[in-house]
Amino acid sequence: MHIVVMPGDDIGPEITEVTMTLLEAVNRAYALGLEFEIVDVGMASFRKCGNTMPESAVEKALAADGVILGPCGMTLYPPREEGGINVPGTIRKRLELYANLRPARSRAGVPNARPGLDVLIARENTEGFYADRNMFMGIADFMPTEDVALSVRKITRAGSRRIAKVAFEYAARRRKNVSAVGKQHVLQVTDGLFMSEAYAQAEQHKDIAFREVDVDAMAADLYTRPQRYDVLLVTNMFGDILSNEACALSGGLGLAAALNMGDEHAIANAGHGSAPDLVGKGIANPSGLMLSVAMLMEWLGTRHKKSAFIDASRAIELALDAALADARARTPDLGGNGTTKTFAQAVTARVDAGELRATGTR
């Protein structure tokens, strides 16, 4: 299988390099037959061809079996008309990645992790309250008079249905529990439509427990009683906010993993940004991108019915659990003294040792 690797900007290349070393070890240990192609995007691409996201890079992503994308930082990009194109935004659109999956789990030994937290946020990725991009033409954040400002949230039946399906599919492989999050008594029409599709899926999956929860209650519950929740089905902006909260409750942004997926494509793309303050210091935490790659392996294994990929995904998770439990190995954002490289070596060594070879899913 062909995997396109786009290192991105700022800490992107540093965390991508060590994540690839881990993935090569997994590729060997589980005989996955992965081949990798590095494709420059962001400033590395701009310096070569005057465009941060050239069409050739999009085509390579479209042709690949899977994509690994390091964080991209827009701060140094020139204006759009001069070649500064939003990399993740373009890939999301062109590969039709409508689901943003964000897991958050507390792990043994990780400081400040909320015990009992183990959720997967299934966040709709294409519409909602992103008023600067949710319309066909123009933007939905505007002033009809000089003293009135309005934003419009877009919710569609098709968009709600496809993310609801993904949430139930993932719940079937986890603890069989979906909570749809919104504020239907206030946003009666838009959340009404979103929730109607969630209820329709619940009808079709009687073996999966389902409930509707207000977003404000969920914000508190994730802190006070996270063990109640498994998969959270959420509209775009509420999902963005809740996934950052859940990530902080799992220990911090360095652990933020994400899989962006659609019907045909998926990209592993850490849930944090490009952290320009850490560039070149060698201390960025690669865990988020490594966990995203584990999600991509699981997606490939499920899609192609190849259990070795599921085992490989589980092995990455277990190796990370073991390395994160070791205070000496952890990077400074999690209270350790490790560097990006030494931490990654601690993870990779556990895969190389083969001691974590596991079968079966969670």
Q: Which is nearer to ligand ATP, 147 or 277 (CB)?
A: 277
Quote the least distance from Cβ 59 to ligand ATP, whole Å. Answer: 25
CA-closest candidate to residue 140, choices 19, 237, 227, 22: 237
Alpha-carbon gap, residue 97 to 159, rounded angstroms: 11
Q: Is 215 in the site for ligand ATP (CB under 6 A)?
A: no
Number of residues that bind ligand ATP (CB under 6 A): 12
Enumerate the β-bridge partners of residue 235.
Answer: none
Backbone angles phi, psi at 188, to 5 degrees: -65, -40
Residues in the chain, total: 362
Site string for ligand ATP, 253-272 (x = CB under 6 A): xx-----------------x
Quote the least distance from Cβ 339 to ligand ATP, whole Å. Answer: 11
Q: Which is nearer to ligand ATP, 76 or 358 (CB)?
A: 76
* Interacting positions 281-340 with ligand ATP (CB under 6 A): 284-285, 288, 333
Quote the least distance from Cβ 309 to ligand ATP, whole Å. Answer: 25
Residues 179 and 147: beta-carbon distance below 8 Å: no
**Residue found under tokens 């490989």:** 312
Q: Annotate 34-71 with b (16+ C-beta within 10 A) or e (fewer).
A: beeeebbbbbbbbeeeebbbbeebbebbeebbbbbbbb
Site string for ligand ATP, 273-292 (x = CB under 6 A): xxx-xx-----xx--x----
Q: Is 88 in the site for ligand ATP (CB under 6 A)?
A: no
* Interacting positions 130-169 with ligand ATP (CB under 6 A): none
Alpha-carbon gap, residue 329 to 345, rounded angstroms: 9
Which parts of this chain interact with ligand ATP (CB under 6 A)? 253-254, 272-275, 277-278, 284-285, 288, 333
